[in-house]
Structure 1
Amino acid sequence: MKRRVFSALAFLCAAALSATACSDPSAGDPGSATDGKQAKVDPTARLDGVKLTMWTAQNTLNAPEQVIEAFEKATGATVETQAIPDLYEQNVPTKLASGDKPDLMFWQPSISTLPFIRPKQNLLTLDGEEWVSRLGDTEKSLGVIDGKRYAAIVTSPAMLGVYYNKDVFRQAGITEKDFPTSYDELLRLGHTVVDRTDAAAFYEAGGDKWPMQWQMQVQLTDLDKQWWAGLNRNKEKWTDPVVVGAIKKYKEELLDAGLAQKNYRTGTFTGQADSLWKGESAMVLNVTSFQSQLQAKYSTAEIDRKIGWFPVSHSSATGMYSPDQTNGVVAFRTGDEKRQNAARQFLAFWLGPDYPAYIKAMKIPSVQPSVPTPPGLPQTSLAQLKALPTADGVFQAKAIVAPDTHLYLADMIYGKKDPQQVAQAIQDQFAQVAKAQGAPGF
C-alpha cells in the first residue's frame, strides 16, 4: 500500500469552502453525552435494521472487509463502505464542509491531520472505551487531541527504517555488527557499499517525490519536545539551522556524493522495490508501505532470504513511527443516537472479540500486546514490531501541520531551490496553514 502524502495547501483550499472550517478546531463544542463516562458496550448485541456508512480511501476500501462481514453476522447490522475519490485527505474535508457525514471513517490519527476534520465538533469522543487500555503505548498515544480520544487505533503506525539487500551487504563485507547507530554512520555504510560493490548505496524516488522526506526526517530525531512545542506556538521555525543542515546534508553528502542511483531524480516507489530486490541498490529508507509492496509480490520465505531491516535515527539505532490513515477509525456525531451507539459497538467489536481474526486475515502485527501477532510474517515485519515501543515519531506526529517537505525537496533536486529556500518554503506553508486553523501564536 502506498504511503499517502497529502498537500496541506489542498487542505487549506478544502477548508476555505466553509467559513467554519477555517476557524479554531477546538471552538464551539456542541456538547454530547458521549463526552462523559462511556456506558459499557456489548460488542455482539443485536442491531437488526441498523445501517452504518463507512468512508475509506480508494486503496483501503477492502481493509475493513473481514470485520464488517463478522460484525454483520454477529449483530444483524449493515455496514456499507464508500470509497472517497483521491485525494482522500483533500476530498473528505470538502464533503464534510458540505454537510455530508458518514458514521465511521478511516483517518490519520495524528495531531497534524486529525484537526482537519474538526474533531471536537464532528466526532464522538472515545475515552473510557474498554479497548483503549488494551492498546500498546505508542498506539495509545495516537488519536488524541487536547486530552480527548477521537480515534480507535486498529493498526500499528508505519515504521520508518532501512530495508537492505542481504546479498549486497555480504558482497560488501557488511555484517550486523556494522549496522549504523547514527545517520552519519549510515552514510559511511553507503560509501562502503559503493566502494566494494557495483550497487548504488540508496535508491531515491525523486519521480514520486514523497519518499524523499525520510532522509530529512531521520536527521531531526534529536530535536526535543520543547522544540516541537515551540514550533507549534510559532516560537521555533523550520528555517532553524538544524533543519537547514539536515536538508543540506541530504543534498551534499548523499545525493551529490553519489550514494544514490544515477536516475534518482526520476526514481519511483515501485522502482525502489525492484532495484532493492535485484541488488542494484543496497538500501532503501522508507516506511512499512514499502514492505507491503514486497509482500504483495513475494512469499515470506523469499523476503526472509533476500531482505533485511534495521532502525536508525540521527544519533542512535532507534526506529521512527509514522501514522497514516489506515491506523485510525473515527466515529461521527450524526445526531442519530442509535447509529452513534452502533458505531461505538462496531469499534468495540473490531478491537474486541474480532481482533485476532482481523489481524490474521490482514497479516499484520497486533496493536494489542495481549493479542499475539499472527505467525508467518516476514522477519522484517517482526523487526519493525520489536522496534516500535522505543520508536520516535516523525514530524507528522509532532507538528500541528505536516508541510509538503517532499515537494520542496523535489524542487531542490531539480535545481529550483537551495536548502535554505526549501526550509523557507516549508516554514511559509506551515505558518499559513497553522494560521488558517486558528492555532495560537500564528
Structure 2
Amino acid sequence: MKKKSYITLLFSALFFLNAPFAMAQISAPGSVGSTPTQYPAFQETDSIFVFCTENENQQLAELQASTDLEGTKTFLWEKYSNETGTFEFYFSESTEATESMISALEDGGYRATITQGETTTIYRAWVFNSWYAASANVTDSNCESFKLISDFNSPELNYYDLEDNSELQVFKDVNVEWKEGQTTIASVQNPQLFNPPPRDTEYTFSVYDQFGCETTTTTTYESIVTKADFSVDPQNGEAPLTVTFNNQSENGDPDQYEWFFYRDLDQIKRESENSDQPVDSIMIVAYDENPVYTFENSGTYNIKLVSKKVSATDSNTFLTCVDTAYIEDYIVVDTSFVAVPNVFTPNGDGTNDEFIVKYWSMQSIKISIFNRWGKRIHFWESNNVQGFEDTYLETVWDGRLGGRFASPGVYYYAVEGMGRDGEKRKKHGFFHLFRGKD
C-alpha cells in the first residue's frame, strides 16, 4: 500500500458551553485526506479523516484534541455506537497538557469533551483506515490481442447521521490505471490490447482514490507473437551485386524464417501488361536466418521477410503467429554503361597516369587500343565480368609498349560488350596521350 501524499489537516470546531472564549481544535496527524460529513438530518457538520493502511488489519487512525485552556483539565473521549445511536465511553484523562491523543483507532465516529471547571468544549470527527488489495492477470492471448484482467477489494467507508442513525457512505472516487513502464495505456479495469509486443512485457495495475490511498500490482505478458524486421548491405550498386541480409526480427523461431526475393519490378510490369494471367513475381525463396544473395542482373528488386512464432496453447494445440516485413526501399542494381576518357598523361605525376576504361554492370566486355597505324597495342576481354572493382587492373593501359614509353600522340580505342541489363554497349573513338609535365 502506498500513500500518494501525507497531509496533516487541521479543522477547527467551536462548541461552547458556559465559556464563550474557550477554543478547541481537532487534528488527525498522518491522515492523507479529509472530507466533510453530509448528514441529511443532523444540523451540524463534522470532519471525516482518511488514513491509508497496508491491509485490513492495520489501524493507523489517530486523533488529537487541543485547547488553549491552561491548568488541569479533563479530556473525555467517546466512540459512536450505531447499535445504540449514542456515544459511549472510550478513554479519559486529566492533565495539564493542552492536548490529548488517541491512536490505533478502529473506523468510526469519536467525540472529545474537554472540561475545566464550568467550561466544557465538545467536538467530533470520523476516522477510517482505508486500504486496497489488487490482483492482475493476462488472458485471451492470441496473435492479434490479449486482455489485462484485474480485480481489487477495498472497504466501504460508512458513517451515520447523528440525528436518526441512518447509514451514509463516504464517496472515494476510485480510479484505475494500467501502465507499461511509465506510460499509461488504459484507464479501465479490464482492457483489451491489440498489436501485442514481440517481447515479454510487464504491466502495472494501480487503483487509487481521491484521498491518496492506492495499491499497485504487476502481471507479465508472455509474448507469443513475432515482429519481422531486417536490414540490407549494400542496397544499391553495380551488377553482380552481393547483398547481405541482416535479420533483426524479434521473437521469431530460428527455423521459421522465409525470405521472398522478387523479380525485377520492370520485368514484372512488362509481363503483366501483355498477359491477363497472374504473373509469377517470386524469383527465389530462402530459409536461412541471415541469407547472402547475389543479384546477377540489373534491376529493381523487392524483398519480403516472413517471421513465425509457434506456441503451445492450454488445449495442447499449437498457435502460429506470423508477421511480414518488406524492404523499406527497393534494392537497385544499376544499369550498364561504359565510359572512356579522351586524354591521359602518363608522366608520373600521380594524376591521370593510366588510361582506364570504366564500366558498370557489364556481363561481358572487350577492350582494344590501337596506334595511329591500326596496330592493336592493348587488349583485354572477359565473358563473365564480376564488377569493375574486381577487374580494374585488366582495363588499364599504363602508356607503355614492351616496357618502353609510348610516343605522345593520337590513339584509337574500341570497346564492346553486353550489359547485365541485356543491353549491348559499344564505344569507339580517339584519345590523346600527352607525356610532358607542366
Give the number of the structure whose residues are more often strand, by fraction: 2
Using structure 1 for the length normalisation, give the TM-score: 0.17
| Higher RCO, Cα 8 Å, sep 6+ | 1
Q: Which has the larger radius of gyration?
A: 2
Query: Structure 2 length as normaliser, TM-score?
Result: 0.17
